[in-house]
A and B are shown apart, each in its own frame.
Chain A
Amino acid sequence: MQIYLPIAEISVNIFAILAMGGAVGFLSGMFGVGGGFLMTPLLIFTGIPPTVAVATGANQIVASSVSGALAQWRRGNVDVKLGTVLLIGGVVGSFAGVQLVKWLREIGQIDLFISLAYVTFLGVIGGLMMVESLNAIRRSKLGTVSVRNKSRHNWVHGLPLKMRFHRSKLFISAIPPLVLGLIVGLLVALMGVGGGFIVVPAMIYLLRVPTNVVVGTSLFQIVFVTSIVTILHSTANQTVDILLALLLMIGGVIGAQFGVRAGQYLKGEQLRALLGAMVLAVGMRMAVELIIRPDELYSIAPMLGG
């Protein structure tokens, strides 16, 4: 059954979109990740304009992260102060990102920029995941246990503007969380991802936030930043397709339920290796399209801004 998307202005198969939302939801449930970095490329492969894919992706993440954030909040796993500092950076990053998208659209480089951003991030993250999980698998086979450096001090602790974050039991400079928030805001606006894959490791390894607070605080931040990005993209670029977002939400929610169950049957390292492989595959597919000579060298687009 075909359905016409009012903002993307194309007719798509309703079941294909539901299935796509479901597949990404399944993966995010299984791996415990947001899945935005898989959703946006898939939407682009389907023929949805990249700018619509990014803005609608951000909107969909609001739905997929709100209940998680609320559950963490109830359990007291949100460091509101740290989350707010991240959020301040996030707001600045979102504004900058949305303006950047607007400008890149006008000069006709937005599609290229989104692809490049994805190739870079998917390549780096997929690669790191693969290496890390393959090492873990090898270690578990050898039966050795790695000893992590437990020191709670690194270069981050030398920076000025120190603030006390009670919930995280931290006394650190506000600059790293502000910058981190800013980067995430940019990523959400430019790539339609939640940014959890950056925030979580950065909070654990860089800020040394206790693990039980990390997920809740990151979700808290994601809900607000993706909401702000949705509104900003809608205001500046009119690229949020409510109907598309709704279909993805429905598919995603159902898929996630099954994903969580499926994830329980796989080991952590295997899961991460699998996810790493998938992330690399999507990144490679995007890279190939940038590198091979296109059949049609010319492209046509509406005149914007001028």
Chain B
Amino acid sequence: MTVNILKCLTVVCLLVTAAQTRVHADGVITDLSSDKVPIEWNFTGANIFLFGAIEGEISEENKPDVIVVVRGPEKKLVVRKKERMAGIWINTNPNELKSVPLYYSVVSSRPIRDIAPASLLDSLGIGFESLVSRLSREMDVENTKTAETYSEAAVRLMEAQGLYKTGGLGVKIVGDRLFQVNITLGANVPSGSFYADVYLFRGGKLLGRRITPLTIHKSGFERVVYNFAFDYPFFYGVIAVFLAVIAGLAATALFRKE
């Protein structure tokens, strides 16, 4: 209910802003329902609405298309391949991937292939294929086939964890100028700086682009515990032991009374 009211308000705001700044270079303006998502003890994922307005001339025969790419923080990861050795499956041949986004989702108003040519999508880093080719280019591996196999595996593994998504047609264009998209983040979403990248296309050409930052951060109890564990690991361990001793003794005292 509140989300719906907020949504309407935002849409109205965007309409007004769109009307005021008719001739905007970017050709698209956007806003998020929230740009800071806290991970608290009861975190099970989050839903974020992205609203936007398209600027400039709009004609019936040449309707605009929107692609929204959400990219998470990037990290150096290792991909390993299991091989059978002496009857058991063992991780072998580790290969390093220089900077893998920990979250990556593509949502669009139509299938991305219909919106723009592959070469353009590739240069903008839109879609799994473009991501795979970027990841393999960055690898220090002689054999390009190997690099590609490992990059594909990385994307596949991240997709299996629900951290990579593609093919969603969730961008709804309302009327001519307004659009909205629902971004779903699962409970396993990493914390860090995210970017919602909105691309506006018309007739296979990029007309505008707008990047909106989004922060996902541990908050409250989660933040205290996590920071403490990594900033003061020794004292964290001491406290963990102390708590365990207290818990053990308290439990005994409690049950002895009965």
Q: Tell whether A pairs with B.
A: yes
In the assembled complex, the Cα of A70 lies from the Cα of B218 at a distance in Å of: 39
In the assembled complex, 19 residue pairs joining A and B whose CB atoms fall closer than 8 Å, in A order, are: A4-B39, A6-B226, A10-B188, A11-B43, A231-B240, A233-B237, A238-B233, A242-B225, A243-B41, A245-B240, A253-B251, A291-B87, A293-B84, A294-B82, A296-B156, A297-B89, A298-B153, A299-B82, A303-B78
Interface residues of A in 259-304 (CB under 8 A from B): 290-291, 293-294, 296-303
In the assembled complex, the Cα of A246 lies from the Cα of B247 at a distance in Å of: 8
Q: With contacts A234-B240, A235-B237, A298-B157 known, is A6 near B229, CB below 8 A?
A: yes
In the assembled complex, the Cα of A64 lies from the Cα of B250 at a distance in Å of: 11
In the assembled complex, the Cα of A290 lies from the Cα of B83 at a distance in Å of: 11
In the assembled complex, the Cα of A306 lies from the Cα of B96 at a distance in Å of: 10
Nearest chain B CB to A290 CB, angstrom units: 4
Q: With contacts A62-B241, A246-B247 known, is A290 near B157, CB below 8 A?
A: no
Residue of B with least CB distance to A299 = B80
Report how many A-B pairs have Cβ atoms within 8 Å: 175
Nearest chain A CB to B35 CB, angstrom units: 21
On chain A, the residues within 8 Å of B41 by CB distance are 3-4, 243
Are B247 and A253 neighbours in the complex by a CB distance under 8 Å?
yes
Q: With contacts A67-B248, A235-B233, A246-B243 known, is A300 near B221, CB below 8 A?
A: no
On chain B, the residues within 8 Å of A1 by CB distance are 42
Residues of chain B at the chain A interface (Cβ within 8 Å): 39-45, 75-84, 87-91, 94, 96, 150, 153-154, 156-158, 160, 187-188, 190, 218, 221-222, 225-226, 229-230, 233-234, 236-241, 243-245, 247-249, 251-252, 255
Are B241 and A238 neighbours in the complex by a CB distance under 8 Å?
no
Which of the residues B84, B91, B234 comes within 8 Å of A299, measured between beta carbons?
B91
Indicate the size class of the contact surface on chain A: 35 or more
On chain B, the residues within 8 Å of A303 by CB distance are 75-78, 96
Residue of A with least CB distance to B94 = A108
Are A301 and B80 neighbours in the complex by a CB distance under 8 Å?
yes
Nearest chain B CB to A281 CB, angstrom units: 19
The answer, yes or no, to whether A174 is at the interface (CB within 8 Å) is no
On chain A, the residues within 8 Å of B84 by CB distance are 293
The answer, yes or no, to whether A18 is at the interface (CB within 8 Å) is no
Residue of A with least CB distance to B238 = A231
Interface residues of A in 1-36 (CB under 8 A from B): 1-4, 6-7, 9-11
Are A6 and B218 neighbours in the complex by a CB distance under 8 Å?
yes
Nearest chain A CB to B52 CB, angstrom units: 30
| A-B pairs with lowest CB-CB distance, top 9 | A234-B237, A231-B237, A298-B153, A11-B187, A67-B252, A62-B244, A66-B248, A253-B251, A63-B248
Are A66 and B188 neighbours in the complex by a CB distance under 8 Å?
no
On chain A, the residues within 8 Å of B87 by CB distance are 291
Nearest chain A CB to B217 CB, angstrom units: 13
In the assembled complex, the Cα of A242 lies from the Cα of B247 at a distance in Å of: 12
Q: With contacts A240-B236, A299-B82 known, is A245 near B244, CB below 8 A?
A: yes
Residue of B with least CB distance to A109 = B91
The answer, yes or no, to whether A60 is at the interface (CB within 8 Å) is yes
The answer, yes or no, to whether A51 is at the interface (CB within 8 Å) is no
